[in-house]
Amino acid sequence: MGVVTKRSSMTYFSDSKDHYSHRVRIVLAEKGVTVDLVEVDPVSIPSELSEINPYNSLPTLLDRDLVLYHTTAMMEYLDERFPHPPLLPVYPVARAESRQFIYRIENDWCPLVKTITQAKSREAVAQAQKELKDSFSTIAPIFSEKPFFMSEEFTLVDCCLAPILWRLDYFGVELPRTRQVMPLLDYMERVFQRDSFIESLTEFERDMRKK
């Protein structure tokens, strides 16, 4: 644990390509947090990170003696430590709903992303691409109700969803420009134009999306 005492500032070990790392970078940008950002190759984890994270995983957030390696824990910690602007609703019911939306993103869409990026079978990748496209197309109309995901304000839910949507071109998923899907496309552009989102992008991520 000697490495913990060597860093006096908050340090974020990030994978420059991964949507899980990206979601926390958005939170950091939203909060305006000064952080030592360390880009790490996931296939070559440095010993410095291995000493503090028993899973040798990315991303990892180090803040003095605190080490976090679960992105939801990181995001909520940052939201509580740096309360402005708030990224979770104030009221318990709305906060619980936001947490459940994040849970659904991680259970419904994140596994499809994992298949697309890691599966060796072309058939499996194609099926996951289709399921992701169909799922987003089906829910697209709900984005006409509020400016952000089921909310009047930008929240942690958007921080989890936006990195996946940004990568759709890269994943080989093209959403149809139909009347049904337009509310989602409008939402995407609205989020992608936020200063914090632009600031959160790595050089690799900037090239993911078609011009």
Q: Given this structure, which CATH class describes domain 2-81?
A: alpha beta
Distance of alpha carbon 203 from alpha carbon 31, whole angstroms: 21
Q: How large is the C-alpha radius of gyration of the chain?
A: 17
pLDDT at 9: 82
> What DSSP line would sit under 10-29, residue for residue?
-EEEE-TT-HHHHHHHHHHH
The model carries a pTM of: 0.94
Topology of domain 92-194 in CATH is Glutathione S-transferase Yfyf (Class Pi); Chain A, domain 2 (1.20.1050)
Torsion of CA 46, 47, 52, 56, to 10 degrees: 60
DSSP letter assigned to residue 141:
G
Percent of the chain past pLDDT 90, that is, above it, reads: 94
Distance of alpha carbon 111 from alpha carbon 92, whole angstroms: 28
Closest by CA to 25, choosing from 103, 89, 78, is 78
Q: Where in the chain is the domain with CATH 1.20.1050.10?
A: 92-194
Residues 121-126: what's their mean pLDDT? 97
Q: Is the pLDDT reported for residue 127 higher than 90? A: yes
pLDDT at 211: 58
Residue found by looking up tokens 């959160």 in the block: 200
Task: Judge contact between 188 and 149, C-beta under 8 A.
Answer: no
pLDDT at 209: 87
Residues 155-162: what's their mean pLDDT? 98
pLDDT at 2: 38
pLDDT at 104: 96
- List Cα–Cα distances, 148 to 103, 154, 164, 206, in angstroms: 17, 6, 15, 22
**Of 3-7, 10-14, 62-66, 117-121, which range is least confident?**
3-7
Give residue 31's identity as a one-letter amino acid code: K
Task: Judge contact between 157 and 146, C-beta under 8 A.
Answer: no
Residues 95-102: what's their mean pLDDT? 97
Q: If DSSP codes are grouped into helix, strand and coil, which group holds residue 61?
A: strand
Q: Is the pLDDT reported for residue 155 higher than 80? A: yes
Write out pLDDT tens, residues 163-174.
999 999 999 999
pLDDT at 8: 52
Closest by CA to 29, choosing from 99, 87, 94, is 87
Q: How far apart are the first and last CA of the chain?
A: 45
Q: Is the pLDDT reported for residue 87 higher than 80? A: yes
Distance of alpha carbon 198 from alpha carbon 137, whole angstroms: 25
Band the pLDDT of 4: cuts 50, 70, 90: very low
Task: Judge contact between 86 and 94, C-beta under 8 A.
Answer: no
Measure CA 105 to chain center.
10
Percent of the chain past pLDDT 70, that is, above it, reads: 95
Structure tokens at 149: 């995901």
Q: Where in the chain is the domain with CATH 3.40.30.10?
A: 2-81
